[in-house]
Amino acid sequence: MMLLSITSINRLRNLGLQLADEPFFSHDHTAYPSGYLVMKPTSVQGNSLPSLRKGYEDGHTLNDTDAPVPVIWNASGRWHVSVWDWAPGPGPGDFVKEFVDEATAIHFIIQYFFDETPEFSARRAHERQRRSI
């Protein structure tokens, strides 16, 4: 089991993102072993979905967010990042990505919250279409 480095945690926190020092999910969790929730508070500029405002409590933080909440974890020597909000899914904007190293996975999360990505754009397009109905 590999945990996120303090360097990666601080890199995300320095951008205003929230995550705990320790994983949210247990080491034996089936889907996200030792997975961390990464949250963008509504007060932080970046990609957002106004209809998605919700409070998240992970035992370490409590904050409102207006964006999907990715999970990052390491399994089988690879880093994974996922957003899976639809059941059973996948739905618009749901994904699971795999990366060879931690730095690349962290870079993807930063892009997800602050740049145009196909993953966030798919969810945004769905939200816009839903509002126009």
pLDDT (tens digit, 9 = 90+) per residue, 88-103?
A: 989 999 999 999 999 9
For the stretch 19-46, pLDDT in tens is: 989 989 899 989 999 999 999 998 999 9
- Note whether 54 and 63 are within 8 A (CB): no
Quick check: pTM over 0.85?
A: yes
pLDDT greater at residue 47 or residue 1: 47
Q: Provide mean pLDDT across the span 3-9.
A: 96
